[in-house]
Amino acid sequence: MKVSIKAIEYYLPPGTEDGAALKRDNPDWRIDDLENKTGVQVRHIAEPGQTAVDMAGLAAAKLLAAGIPKESIDFLVLVTQSPDYVLPTSACILQDRLGLRPSCLAFDVNLGCSGFVYGLAIGGSLIEAGLAGRGLVCCSETYSKYIEKTDRVSRPLFSDGAAVTLLGSSGQDDLGPFEMGTDGSGFRNLIVPLSGARTASSETDKKSLFMAGKEVFMFTMGKVPECVTALLAKSGKTIGDIDHFIFHQASKIVIDNIVRRLELPEEKVFRNYQRIGNTVSASIPIALKDAVSEKKIKKGDLVMLIGFGVGYSWGSCLVKWDGAQ
């Protein structure tokens, strides 16, 4: 079977914070400098009791309400690094909440900013193998719950949000090829240290996000252009053949430098981090949906999706847009 993206919907929590909120908590921060560097003007923040499952449920309900029969969903892949519990699997909770049938496969994928590309590869493989006809790739994150108010590296960047993508069989091959990779030697540079079974050295240690900004940036600059170039070679395409590039919406400085290194035409690069922020695994599908809604992407366009970050992990793929909304 061949695979295509049939629909995308997303949810952003209504609560937001801007530079003024950062300034109130951190009077010594130079907000203009931070916003010029990150490009982020507004971040969406989940309510204290709102979880990744809650947000994914709202996004999925919106998608299903467009006339997608629940009984037609064969799998549910939930990409998240902010699960409701260490166990059980958050995807199982979401399957029940959405009322999907018991024969539906449901499982979590613990990946961050590369997670949507991996989710497409997994979901597409299930369809191509004949194990499923259609399914949902859900990306949902509440990184804000891991971030200290005084964290000058992470707080100006990360935003909460969820996106749900419907994959289905197709008469033409609209998904792929893929280029993916891993370098676990950098795992300490983007981490929530006390979030699993590896215990703390003292009870005073906090379960907070740590990001070594310089190291993560250098990894990105070394690996992402390489990944894009490798996918072009694998697919027999050139930059001129690609209509649009949608990168993980990491920040302005990151995307600016990738565009410069690859010498990409700016009109081919979609950005929405300014009004949304970095929503981790949800950033690419949200950007893809926005680009379609803004009529930047039209039926038949060839789009490259590129995710990269925590792990370290990266992935890219080509999508032939079939006109889905």
Query: Active site residue: 113, 138, 227, 317, which one?
Result: 113
Buried residues in 50-84 as b, exposed as e (16+ CB within 10 A): bbbbbbbbbbbeebbeeebeeeebbbbbbbbbbbb
Query: Active site residue: 138, 189, 244, 248, which one?
Result: 248
Could you give the residue ranges of the DSSP H alpha helices within 5-108?
A: 19-25, 31-38, 52-64, 90-98
Q: Which two tokens stand for residue 75?
A: 């799998």
What radius of gyration, in Å, describes the C-alpha atoms of the chain?
19
Enclosing H/E stretch for 234 = helix 213-235
Q: Amino acid identity of 247?
A: F
Q: Which two tokens stand for residue 48?
A: 């204290």
Catalytic site residue 44?
no
Q: Which residues contact 277 (CB under 8 A, 6 or more apart)?
A: 40, 42, 43, 44, 157, 158, 159, 249
Q: Amino acid identity of 262?
A: L
Enclosing H/E stretch for 191 = strand 190-191
Return left, alpha or beta for 67; rule: phi > 0 is left, psi -120 to 50 is alpha, else beta.
left
Query: Active site residue: 139, 189, 272, 278, which one?
Result: 278
Catalytic residues: 113, 248, 278
